[in-house]
């Protein structure tokens, strides 16, 4: 095994760490609440199985086969070895863009970890005002938080695959699981737990419409960190004989389980306080602190634990977003890891400063273009344009420009021929169409 490669357990934890992020603990519960619970979760699970896992396996087979950066892996796996496939490497830039504003959001959460040791707001209006003041006025604190998060990410990735990314995931992923387990055990003691279970696992199909289907597809796709080159790059650090199929299924199971556990925890807490399930994006930063405030000192302990879980989940995702760019510069431009990290770290750090300033009252007007501030532009460009395009390219590439027999050989080392042919059918026809529908729908919402 190469010194800078993952062990199988390390790969599973690192890929799961990449997948498990704010989308699982923050976004998944509030979207589930907006679309009525059980029926949405059923659709989401089907989307994970047939859409998300299909693209995940696609990135894994490209990465493990290529054993290099994104551009080089595409060229080497193509039938004709066409060098134009090197332009597929554009997807590595997506991770840096996401990391720029993701670091800012983690800065907000770091602020909530600190303030949760003190007095929590008792009214939604006060909680909302506190959050609004943080992101629009408290520029100094946000820059400090962003610097701490960015510095942590840079420090981790400087250590490399084994000593940095794998090791931090071996620490943070179990800690995340332990915190969530503790929060779940407390939720289990509350009378509202059964209500949360019923809400999440009793389907009401009257709540499902076109928007719900697209939301489920989008959540399933983006929660697995697809279309940014992360899974492809991580898979390139897997030994060639490793079972990428089994590892991919394990990552999907861990990712989905944590999302469901987070949903059970949050809905139990919401229902215990008589709050609404459809609390929207403000659920974590406005609704939950108010609920925790009613539980006295225990509420402070739970608040600190909850926001620490978000920080841990976010950090494991953050380190994964920068790795594809690092490998690109190391492999294609023969940079040292230190130089590549400094370049990529400086890029996302500066973009993050622009993103956080664009939400402030002092600089927002100057950093708003076409009706969107820089933060929202980065979010929209990465999640609504660059990631779907990258995923479509991956599907077309494997479905039409890679030798089918070669792919079958790689898959059937680890799974049945029936699984391969199902995956191949999905990658050629079903998944590209589903992603194109999602892509066009998001563009129509500009």
Q: pLDDT tens across 88-130, in order?
A: 999 999 999 999 999 999 999 999 999 999 999 999 899 999 9
DSSP symbol at 119: P
- List, in order of start, the domains of the chain with CATH numbers: 8-444 (1.20.1740)
Number of H helices, E strands in the chain: 23, 2
Residue with tokens 């939400």: 359
| SS3 of residue 290 by DSSP | helix
Q: pLDDT tens across 244-280, in order?
A: 999 999 999 999 999 999 999 999 998 888 866 555 5
Rounded CA separation 124/304 (Å)? 19
Among residues 89, 91, 61, which one has the least CA distance to residue 75?
89
| SS3 of residue 372 by DSSP | strand
∠ Cα 175 218 104 (to 5°): 50
At 85, is the pLDDT very low, low, confident or very high (cuts 50, 70, 90)? very high
Rounded CA separation 289/87 (Å)? 45
Q: How many CB atoms lie within 10 A of CB 96?
A: 21
Q: Please, is 273 exposed, middle or buried when counting C-beta atoms within 10 Å of its C-beta (0-12, 13-18, 19+)? A: middle
Q: pLDDT tens across 200-228, in order?
A: 999 888 888 888 888 888 788 778 878 89
Among residues 67, 90, 83, which one has the least CA distance to residue 394?
90
For residue 251, give both structure tokens.
């990552």
**More confident site: 26 or 185:** 185
Rounded CA separation 269/147 (Å)? 32
| SS3 of residue 369 by DSSP | strand
Nearest-10 Cα torsion for 278, 280, 285, 291: -10
> Residue 296 region, left (φ>0) first, then alpha (ψ -120 to 50), else beta?
left
Helices 38-47 & 210-223 angle (0-180, nearest 10): 50
């Amino acid at each position: 095994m190469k010194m800078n490669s993952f062990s199988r357990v390390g790969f599973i934890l690192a890929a799961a760490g990449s997948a498990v992020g704010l989308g699982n603990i923050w976004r998944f519960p509030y979207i589930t609440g907006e679309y009525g619970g059980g029926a949405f979760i059923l659709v989401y699970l089907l989307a994970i199985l047939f859409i998300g896992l299909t693209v995940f396996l696609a990135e894994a087979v490209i990465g493990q086969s290529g054993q290099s950066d994104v551009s080089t892996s595409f060229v080497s796996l193509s039938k004709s070895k066409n060098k134009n496939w090197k332009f597929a490497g554009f997807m590595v830039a997506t991770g840096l863009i996401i990391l720029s504003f993701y670091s800012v959001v983690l800065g907000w959460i770091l602020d909530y970890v600190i303030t949760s040791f003190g007095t929590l707001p008792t009214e939604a209006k006060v909680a909302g005002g506190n959050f609004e003041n943080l992101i629009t006025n408290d520029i100094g604190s946000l820059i400090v938080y962003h610097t701490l998060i960015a510095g942590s990410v840079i420090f981790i990735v400087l250590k490399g695959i084994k000593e940095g990314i794998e090791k931090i995931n071996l620490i943070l992923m179990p800690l995340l699981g332990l915190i969530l387990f503790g929060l779940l055990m407390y939720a289990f003691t509350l009378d509202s737990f059964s209500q949360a279970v019923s809400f999440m696992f009793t389907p009401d199909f009257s709540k499902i419409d076109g928007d719900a289907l697209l939301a489920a597809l989008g959540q399933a796709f983006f929660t697995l960190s697809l279309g940014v080159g992360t899974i492809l790059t991580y898979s390139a650090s897997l030994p060639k004989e490793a079972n990428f199929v089994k590892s991919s299924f394990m990552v999907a199971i861990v990712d989905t389980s944590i999302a469901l556990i987070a949903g059970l925890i949050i809905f139990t807490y919401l229902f215990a306080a008589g709050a609404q399930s459809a609390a929207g994006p403000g659920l974590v930063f406005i609704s939950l602190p108010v609920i925790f405030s009613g539980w006295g000192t225990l509420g402070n302990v739970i608040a600190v634990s909850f926001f620490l879980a978000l920080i841990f989940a976010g950090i494991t995702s953050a380190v994964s977003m920068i790795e594809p760019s690092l490998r690109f510069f190391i492999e294609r431009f023969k940079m040292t890891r230190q130089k590549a990290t400094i370049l990529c770290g400086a890029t996302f750090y500066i973009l993050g400063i622009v993103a956080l300033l664009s939400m402030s009252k002092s600089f927002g007007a100057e950093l708003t273009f076409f009706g969107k501030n820089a933060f929202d532009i980065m979010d929209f460009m990465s999640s609504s344009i660059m990631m779907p395009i990258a995923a479509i390219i991956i599907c077309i590439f494997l479905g039409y420009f890679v030798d089918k027999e070669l792919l079958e050989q790689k898959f059937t080392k680890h799974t049945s021929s029936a699984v391969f042919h199902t995956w191949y059918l999905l990658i050629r026809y079903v998944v590209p169409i589903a992603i194109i529908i999602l892509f066009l729908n998001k563009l129509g919402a500009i």
